[in-house]
């Protein structure tokens, strides 16, 4: 990180605002301030602005609280709710507000993006670039450019560009300061120059840059997330085949991953994807493609979504199987609530969906998560929560691992075994050492893996045979 941060700036630094201080915006604002830019974070939520100003990050992201403290202390970063102040301050405005899925539709709700662009445009009195970072349906940037031109007192002073964000929760700072690539969607050289100045240290560090039109830039984000979702559902579809054939999806994934063309990343089978991006983005993409009359082109994403939903139902089936075929009154310890480890985000979390399905089948469900308990309680008040990991597994008939936090992965099966009523484990994330659990007397099951580890034994048998032949 210091390699980028220590570099002097060659061109005059634009002053940056970041509109929307949620996950994406807060990380962007703090990261840009750490690179030496003067940054003003803007939000309509006074409480959020107050917390950030006090140095409190309103969500769990490793490393960010320390960086926020440093940025505030350096004087490079401030926060406000005033759009007047923002328009006067900023040369480049990054719009980072949410585009959640609309209720009752697969479409993205663009109200917050439109409001942010308009609020800045109406107040522009100097040469300004408004850059969208939010994930939007292709064609939105052009429409926003028209809205901005209509709202601005002098349309020649203001321009729109698109700069999609690829940050992963849990690695947000790293992904912002050291992205795999930068994508600038621009319609003029002036916009490209401003964006280059706004990312100078990141570009100087050798980050690949793709300069594109705004439509391509918008598409890159949904295309990337659709690809990742497809890759996850692909291996989970293979898990379904493994389940009926007795093959082992873990071994299959590992054999596939040695093919460089396929690679190991996002090929981890299990409970599937959730979170604020992948599920919503593939649905909004399908919706937009249908609007454009090319719904058939991404029809496969319906299947990707459906495979993903089936994994959750199938996990419930597996827990029921281990509980003896009937969940009524069975104590089920659910390990994890967040949609993935190192995050307290529970949006579209497979873990909570499974916990709630188990509860709906009259199981006595208790949930524990190291970071996401507050958010989980708020969204799923009907579930019971344990104050500690140990309390959660105490007396359990079945334990089900739903989010692969390190402390669950590293737990000692023998010690955990002392606490439960029955040593029965469903590993929803293929994250545990099956042999260690089985040796400690657990019945261990994972989607797409045989109930008994025949495949591994066969591999070892073959090894023995080969050794005997030598």
- Residues at the interface with ligand UDX (CB under 6 A): 165-169, 225, 228, 232, 266-268, 270, 272-275, 277-278, 339-340
What's the min distance (Å) between Cβ of 108 and ligand UDX? 14
What 3-state DSSP class applies to 52? helix
The Cα–Cα gap between 103 and 408 comes to 35
Alpha-carbon dihedral angle through residues 166, 167, 173, 174, given to the nearest 10 degrees:
-70
Which residues pair with residue 16 across a beta bridge? 39, 92
The two three-digit tokens of residue 290, written as one number: 């249908």
CB closer to ligand UDX, 228 vs 318: 228
Active site residue 277: yes
Q: Which is nearer to ligand UDX, 83 or 339 (CB)?
A: 339
Q: Which is nearer to ligand UDX, 34 or 250 (CB)?
A: 250
Nearest CB to ligand UDX, comparing residues 110 and 232 = 232
**DSSP-derived 3-state class of residue 359:** helix
Identify the CA nearest to 173 among candidates 57, 331, 283.
57
Q: Long-range contacts made by residues 429-436, C-beta under 8 angstroms, separation at least 24?
A: 429/268, 429/270, 429/271, 429/401, 429/402, 429/403, 429/404, 430/249, 430/250, 430/268, 430/269, 430/270, 431/270, 431/401, 431/404, 432/401, 432/408
Q: Which is nearer to ligand UDX, 166 or 300 (CB)?
A: 166
CA–CA dist 424, 434 (Å, integer)? 12
Residue 35: which residues within 8 A CB-CB, separation 6 or more? 4, 5, 177, 201, 202
Q: Least Å distance between CB 268 and ligand UDX?
A: 3
For the CB of residue 167, give the shortest distance to ligand UDX in the complex, in Å: 5
User: Rounded to the nearest whole angstrom, what is the least distance from the CB of residue 213 to ligand UDX in the complex?
Assistant: 21
Ranges of H-type helices in 22-110 = 23-34, 46-53, 64-74, 83-89
Strand partners, 41: 18, 79
Supply the minimum distance, in Å, between the C-beta of residue 280 and ligand UDX. 9
Catalytic residue among 242, 277, 334, 392: 277
Q: Which is nearer to ligand UDX, 265 or 296 (CB)?
A: 265
Token pair belonging to 340: 């993935």
CB of 221 to ligand UDX, least distance (A): 7
Residues forming the active site = 277
């Amino acid at each position: 990180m210091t390699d980028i941060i220590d570099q002097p700036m060659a061109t005059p630094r634009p002053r940056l605002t970041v509109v929307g201080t949620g996950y994406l915006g807060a990380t962007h604002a703090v990261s840009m301030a750490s690179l030496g830019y003067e940054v003003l974070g803007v939000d309509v939520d006074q409480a959020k602005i107050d917390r950030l100003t006090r140095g409190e990050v309103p969500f769990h992201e490793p490393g960010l609280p320390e960086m926020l403290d440093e940025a505030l202390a350096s004087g490079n970063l401030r926060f406000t709710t005033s759009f007047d102040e923002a328009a006067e301050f900023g040369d480049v405005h990054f719009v980072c507000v949410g585009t959640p899925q609309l209720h009752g539709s697969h479409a993205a709700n663009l109200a917050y993006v439109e409001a942010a662009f308009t609020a800045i445009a109406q107040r522009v009195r100097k040469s300004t670039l408004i850059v969208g970072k939010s994930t939007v349906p292709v064609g939105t940037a052009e429409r926003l450019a028209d809205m901005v031109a209509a709202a601005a007192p002098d349309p020649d002073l203001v321009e729109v560009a698109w700069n999609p964000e690829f940050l992963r929760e849990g690695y947000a700072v790293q992904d912002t300061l050291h992205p795999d690539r930068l994508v600038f969607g621009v319609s003029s050289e002036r916009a490209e120059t401003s964006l280059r100045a706004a990312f100078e240290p990141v570009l100087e560090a050798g980050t690949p840059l793709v300069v594109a039109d705004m439509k391509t830039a918008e598409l890159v984000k949904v295309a990337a997330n659709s690809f990742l979702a497809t890759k996850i559902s692909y291996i989970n579809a293979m898990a379904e085949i493994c389940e009926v054939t007795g093959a082992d999806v873990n071994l299959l994934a590992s054999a596939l991953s040695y093919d460089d063309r396929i690679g190991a990343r996002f090929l981890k089978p299990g409970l599937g994807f959730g979170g604020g991006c992948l599920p919503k983005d593939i649905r909004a993409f399908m919706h937009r493609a249908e609007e454009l009359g090319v719904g058939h082109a991404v029809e496969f994403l319906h299947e990707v979504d459906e495979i993903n939903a089936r994994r959750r139902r199938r996990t419930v089936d597996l827990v029921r199987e281990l509980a003896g075929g009937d969940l009524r009154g069975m104590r089920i310890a659910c390990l994890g609530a967040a949609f993935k480890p190192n995050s307290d985000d529970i949006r579209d979390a497979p873990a909570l969906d499974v916990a709630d399905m188990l509860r709906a089948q009259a199981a006595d469900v208790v949930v524990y998560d190291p970071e996401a308990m507050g958010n989980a309680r708020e969204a799923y008040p009907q579930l019971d929560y344990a104050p500690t990991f140990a309390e959660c597994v105490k007396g359990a008939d079945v334990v089900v691992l739903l989010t692969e936090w390190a402390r669950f992965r590293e737990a000692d099966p023998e010690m955990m075994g002392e606490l439960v009523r029955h040593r029965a484990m469903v590993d929803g994330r293929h994250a545990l050492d099956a042999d260690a659990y089985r040796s400690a007397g657990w019945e261990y099951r994972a989607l797409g893996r045989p109930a008994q580890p025949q495949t591994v034994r066969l591999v070892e048998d073959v090894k023995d045979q080969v050794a005997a032949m030598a």
